[in-house]
Amino acid sequence: MKKKVIRHDKPCKDHEGRQFPNIKSMCEYWHIDPATFTRRRKVYKMSLRKALTTPVKPNGGQQCRDHEGTLFRSKTLMCQHWNVERKTYDYRISHGWSQEKALTTSTKNHNSKL
């Protein structure tokens, strides 16, 4: 099974049939960050329409707790606390990892500077 790659530099159409020179232009039209669009499509498997039209949370996310019960203002801040990239955390959770494992497992190419 081939992995679907989202190319940001090729012409594309939105769910309403509008033609754009690239994904960046389409995302600008819909007022969404290209990284958010890509994450919604690849990680959350959202439809094109939903990925483009779902409002972005203006408050920086919703409060959440980690596996130790610590409260964070957002998932991004929780991931920063645990030194895990947000996209890595989201990928792991979407693939069935427990929250503790997703937050505490280091990445292969993680280089810490001491």
Per the prediction, the chain carries an average pLDDT of 86
Q: Which of 3-12, 19-28, 35-44, 46-55 has the lowest mean pLDDT?
A: 3-12
Domain-embedded: residue 68: yes
Q: What are phi and psi of 72, to 5 degrees?
A: -125, 150
Confidence check: pLDDT of 110 > 60: no
Residue 23 located in a structural domain = yes
Q: Flag whether 30 is in a domain.
A: yes
Task: Identify whether 79 is part of a domain.
Answer: yes
pLDDT of residue 109: 58
Asked if residue 6 belongs to a domain, the reply is no
Residues 42 and 16 in one domain: yes
Question: What is the domain range of residue 28?
Answer: 12-53
- Please give the Cα distance from 10 to 22 (Å, whole number): 5
- Total number of domains constituting the chain: 2
Whether 95 is in a domain gets the answer yes
Q: Residue 62: its pLDDT value, please?
A: 76
In degrees to the nearest 10, what's the CA dihedral of 65, 69, 70, 76? Answer: -30
* pTM metric for this prediction: 0.50
CA distance 35 to 53: 14
Q: Which residue has the higher pLDDT, 73 or 1?
A: 73
Tokens of 62: 């919703």
Residue matched to tokens 């895990």: 84
Residues 47 and 76 in one domain: no
Same domain, yes or no, for 16 and 49?
A: yes
Q: Is residue 49 part of a domain?
A: yes
Q: What is the pLDDT of residues 59-80, one digit of tens each?
A: 666 788 999 999 988 888 899 9
Residue 58 lies in a domain: no
Q: Does pLDDT of 32 surpass 80?
A: yes
